[in-house]
């Protein structure tokens, strides 16, 4: 009879799970984003080329013709030498077109974010330099004030010593 205890061993996370965990833990770099975009686009082109050949083999005589059509479509060139005429082919084409537009949008966003990050870094560096300059000016001003206060204190000390030496004693009557 079973005791009801599970003998299931914990399994190691799969490759995709590990990669996704790493991706979610730290922000992706532009290089990683570009790699993901290029890989996704290549998979879409190959998959669409194969799929269009399978679904519409009369118009697309080989997988290579299908891939040529997919490359034209994903890059939004569309020469028109090969076009799907069946509904299923047009559905595949719509998906490939949307992926191509998304590809261009993400590439543009990645480039733009690089420029924005660089501009922000330069702006932060300029602000830091301005803050250092202002701090240096304040330090110089305080140093100048210290020198002036030292002179005032020295003058007051000298005046009080002079007045103490030449002043009559107030406790005794004057002659």
Domains identified in the chain and CATH numbers: 28-162 (1.10.287.70)
DSSP 12: P
Q: Tokens 């004693």 — which residue?
A: 169
The length of the chain is 175
pLDDT digits over 55-94, tens only? 888 888 888 988 888 888 888 777 777 888 888 888 888 8
Residue 88 token pair:
């299923």
Decide if 46 contacts 67 (C-beta within 8 A): yes
Cα 80-84-88 angle, rounded to 5 deg: 155
Q: What is the pLDDT of residue 80?
A: 75
Reduced DSSP (H G I as helix, E B as strand, rest coil) percent helix, strand, coil of the chain, to 5: 75, 0, 25
Phi then psi for residue 50, to 5 deg, are -70, -45
- CA dist 114 and 110 (Å) reads 6
- CA dist 123 and 129 (Å) reads 10
Q: What is the pLDDT of residue 115?
A: 83
pLDDT digits over 153-173, tens only? 999 999 888 888 875 555 555
Q: What is the pLDDT of residue 163?
A: 84
């Amino acid at each position: 009879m079973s005791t009801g205890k599970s003998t299931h061993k914990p399994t190691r996370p799969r490759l995709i799970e590990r990669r996704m965990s790493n991706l979610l833990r730290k922000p992706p770099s532009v290089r990683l984003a570009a790699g993901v975009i290029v890989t996704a686009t290549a998979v879409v082109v190959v998959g669409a080329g194969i799929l269009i050949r399978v679904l519409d083999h009369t118009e697309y005589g080989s997988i290579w013709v299908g891939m040529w059509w997919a490359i034209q479509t994903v890059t939004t060139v569309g020469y028109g030498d090969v076009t799907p005429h069946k509904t299923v082919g047009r559905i595949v084409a719509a998906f490939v077109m949307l992926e191509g537009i998304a590809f261009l949008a993400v590439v543009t966003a990645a480039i733009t974010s690089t420029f924005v990050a660089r501009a922000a870094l330069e702006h932060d560096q300029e602000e830091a330099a301005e803050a250092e300059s202002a701090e240096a000016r304040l330090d110089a001003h305080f140093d100048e004030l210290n020198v002036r206060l030292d002179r005032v204190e020295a003058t007051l000390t000298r005046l009080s010593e002079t007045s103490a030496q030449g002043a009559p004693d107030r406790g005794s009557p004057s002659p």
